[in-house]
């Protein structure tokens, strides 16, 4: 396997933003491939392998949300969304479509570089991690194979994003233990800096829609009011 620097696809229709973000990324040792709109982003993505995709929500020809949806249908590549809007709907939509993280403009370069570094670190850890002693877990009709990073419920394969799997794994490995939102943010991202704890709520809701027979009456992922979440305890 050829050793190479992490390759990032940066899609934003504003040239000033492209220049502003590309320079520090390249300075940090990353290879950056630029795209000026959504369709170009998809074309660039099909040409080579990427370790991270950064998508602006508002782009011509095809917006970032649609690009995210199409990428997630065929790839588990980490995706960070950039949004200039303060409305929660943009953040929720991005996360629901499978984005791993989002950053609201305007943001500091320090925050941006921190998010990129953390996301790439997480993705590398996921590829490199081996846990033969922790290969599978069964609870009710739910099966989680940690080594293969696969999830089945009622016999059917369930597709989860990187973040969804990490949250599920953290909870399932500790049945009955209550995790606060900040604890889960730290487990997944390495820290909770710059991140809205409500991000966890969106991923939990998405997991429930995938795993539970009735998301309003969960069997696996329980809310502990005023604290956080826990996984069912079969003991």
CB atoms within 10 A of CB 125: 11
- 116 and 16 housed in the same domain: yes
95 and 202 Cβ atoms separated by less than 8 Å: yes
Do 70 and 35 fall within a single domain?
yes
- Give pLDDT tens digits for 125-179: 555 444 444 668 999 999 999 888 899 999 999 988 878 898 999 999 999 999 9
Same domain membership, residue 119 and residue 48 = yes
For the entire predicted model, the pTM comes to 0.63
pLDDT tens digits, 159-170: 888 788 989 999
Q: Answer yes or no: are the C-beta atoms of 200 and 178 closer than 8 Å.
A: no
Structural domains of the chain, count: 2
Q: Which CATH number goes with the domain that contains 209?
A: 1.10.10.10
Give domain status of residue 2, yes or no: no
């Amino acid at each position: 396997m050829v050793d190479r620097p992490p390759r990032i696809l940066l899609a934003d229709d504003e040239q000033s933003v492209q220049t502003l973000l590309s320079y520090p990324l390249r300075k940090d040792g990353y290879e950056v491939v630029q795209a000026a709109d959504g369709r170009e982003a998809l074309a660039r993505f099909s040409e080579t392998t990427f370790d991270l995709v950064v998508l602006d929500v508002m782009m011509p020809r095809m917006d970032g949300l649609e690009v995210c949806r199409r990428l997630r249908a065929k790839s588990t590549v980490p995706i960070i969304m950039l949004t200039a809007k303060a409305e929660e709907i943009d953040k929720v939509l991005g996360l629901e479509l499978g984005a791993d993280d989002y950053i609201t403009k305007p943001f500091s370069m320090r925050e941006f570089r921190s998010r990129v570094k953390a996301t790439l670190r997480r993705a590398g850890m996921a590829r490199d991690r081996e846990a033969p002693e922790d290969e599978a877990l069964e609870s009710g009709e739910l099966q989680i194979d940690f080594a293969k990073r696969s999830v089945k419920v009622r016999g059917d394969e369930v597709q989860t994003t990187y973040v969804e799997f990490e949250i599920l794994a953290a909870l399932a490995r500790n049945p009955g233990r209550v995790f606060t939102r900040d604890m889960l943010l730290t487990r997944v991202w390495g820290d909770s800096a710059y991140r809205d704890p409500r991000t966890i709520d969106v991923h939990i809701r998405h997991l429930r829609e995938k795993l539970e027979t009735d998301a309003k009456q969960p069997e696996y992922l329980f809310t502990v009011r005023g604290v956080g979440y826990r996984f069912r305890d079969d003991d």
